Amino acid sequence: MAVISELIRSEADGTISFGDYSLHTKAKLDNFEHRGDVYKVKTCREITKLERNGMFVYESVPGTAVAGLRATDTGIEFSVEGPEDAQVTVELEDETEYDIAIDGTDAGTMKTNLGGKLSVSVELGEHPVTVRIQKC
């Protein structure tokens, strides 16, 4: 997958891809329109962050590249790649239980906090890792 050189792009399947963990200094792109929403991405080696319509969607520390992000009313799914393991935080529904699968392996269930945030650690390596978080 590698980095997304244009910082964010729409994919033919209706998903979006974003992030460039190879950058030494922070780069950002505002006002990216996709399916009626406006996105903002900030990315570099230390962090990758995505907002939709001014609201938090995704953050990773350190920075990552994300492909095929699809967020629905019942969850979120994407592939993530980076040079080292990452802490990924996504915004979902407040105080709701979610099933988590990482690379097809059941990682258990977690409940979002009062603000709807859920954080998972993702072990990254030679290939992109698929993360699927679905409402129970």
58-112 tens-digit pLDDT: 999 999 999 999 999 999 999 999 999 999 999 999 999 999 999 999 999 999 9
Q: How far apart are CA 57 and CA 77, in angstroms?
A: 12
Whether residue 3 lies inside any domain: the answer is no
This prediction's pTM: 0.95
For residue 46, what is the domain's CATH number? 2.60.220
The answer as to whether 59 is a domain residue is yes
Structure tokens at 51: 């907002």
Q: Specify the number of domains making up the chain.
A: 1
Per-residue model confidence as pLDDT tens digits over 33-59: 999 999 999 999 999 999 999 999 999
Structure tokens at 104: 């097809």
What local confidence, expressed as pLDDT, does residue 119 receive? Answer: 97
How many CB atoms neighbour CB 38 within 10 A? 13
* Residues spanned by the domain of 70: 8-135
